[in-house]
Chains A and B, each alone.
Chain A
Amino acid sequence: ETGVTQTPRHLVMGMTNKKSLKCEQHLGHNAMYWYKQSAKKPLELMFVYNFKEQTENNSVPSRFSPECPNSSHLFLHLHTLQPEDSALYLCASSHPGLAGDNEQFFGPGTRLTVL
């Protein structure tokens, strides 16, 4: 088990539902990331937070809404999703300010299915 946890591990939701994914890191890092992994495609970065401030939004649709209340917690709020949003959503953390580091550590992911 890594120092990055994600809940829930599996989620099935309808297109009209609202749900949230949660990520928590216990590594003392100050940057957190959301990635999407779809079948047959490379991992895609969605959002980056550094010291709780969003520093990157990789052209993600507004039906995905991130929240970072502190450096240890990251949420992804979901609403009115589409079936093509079904994927594995991965959270990661790192410590960009540390010289010679910035290694990213990943959580186990949330397998999302949109019906």
Chain B
Amino acid sequence: KQEVTQIPAALSVPEGENLVLNCSFTDSAIYNLQWFRQDPGKGLTSLLLIQSSQREQTSGRLNASLDKSSGRSTLYIAASQPGDSATYLCAVLLFGNEKLTFGTGTRLTIIP
């Protein structure tokens, strides 16, 4: 059974700093891994998707990496801004499976 863990559960950093969010998973036979952002009481916004054959994806100030052998992914946010404050979720999709398995998320607060 795939398990996805995100540590820490909450993180506060001053504005302008670079930061890294962590995601680990137990089954390395993944098809892809997605990072999402969720604002309070809202739905999920897809940030980045990394296919199993890829090592990283970049979008603006965001960079996501994937290391299947160690069962880890990181989301790097450069030059953080107060608008980046949200909960960040990672989710993995296994081969031959339609079920996304989610972590519990990291609640990020950027301090102005």
Contact = CB atoms under 8 A, between A and B. Distances in A.
A7 to B, nearest CB: 13
Contact of A103 (B49, B102, B103): B49
Interface in A28-54: 31, 33, 40-43, 45, 48, 50
B43 A90 contact: yes
B42 A108 contact: yes
A103 B34 contact: yes
Contact of A104 (B51, B100, B103): B100
Contacts of A56: 98-99
Q: Chain B interface: which size bin?
A: 20 to 34
Interface string B35-76: 010000111111001010000000000000000000000000
B44 A31 contact: no
Given A50-B98, A96-B98, A42 B41 contact: no
Interface of A: 2, 4, 6, 31, 33, 40-43, 45, 48, 50, 55-56, 58, 88, 90, 92, 96, 100, 102-109, 111
